[in-house]
Copies of this chain bind each other. A is one copy, B any other.
Amino acid sequence: MDIYGDLNSGNCLKVKWLCDYLARPYRWIAVDTMNGGSRTPAFLAINPVGQVPVVVLDDGRALAQSNAIIRYLGRDSDLVPGDAYEAAKMDEWLFWEQYSHEPYIAVCRYQMVYLGRPVSSLDPDKVTRGHAALDRMERQLAITTYLVGDAPTLADVALLACTRVASEGGFDLTACPAIRRWIVDAERALGVA
């Protein structure tokens, strides 16, 4: 299996981490998204949306969208709860991550780290919504060890990727002790360095 990704992207790290956790072999194909690598004709033939990550399975079929990819690759693993309702709660976090977390926290980090913009230039609405996302995680992780209970799931894989580097986007985690505790636990459980 080929994984087309950029190690600077949390969405790409999700896929790499999961494959490493599952000991699933892959070939990592670095795409330099900052310099148009995801907009070349060759790449657009693989993913017309022009986004990483995308995986190409051994039979040549492609799959995009980070959370759809980890949902597929991890479907028979211990990172998906056997109980249907708990699996649905995992999906609830996965969809929430893409709608209410990534567009704020990852985008602010992108603007600061890769575009070199100061924290003062960030869109105040994005900052407010990013803090709301962290607040929701903090309240959950004050109650449960992981997002869906006492064991890690794909929801932790997905949220860990953006959250552990939130401070690089101007989001201070000092006031979020449960999130900081969870980052340590999730990194250890998932084998993330």
Contacts and interface: CB of A to CB of B under 8 A. Distances in A.
Interface of A is mostly: helix
* Copies of chain A in the complex: 2
A100 B102 CA distance: 12
Interface in A35-91: 48-49, 57, 61, 63-69, 71-72, 75, 84-85, 87-89, 91
Given A48-B136, A63-B89, A94 B72 contact: no
A172 interface: no
A91 B75 contact: no
Interface residues of A, number: 31
Contacts of A63: 85, 88-89, 92
A117 interface: no
Contacts of A84: 72, 75
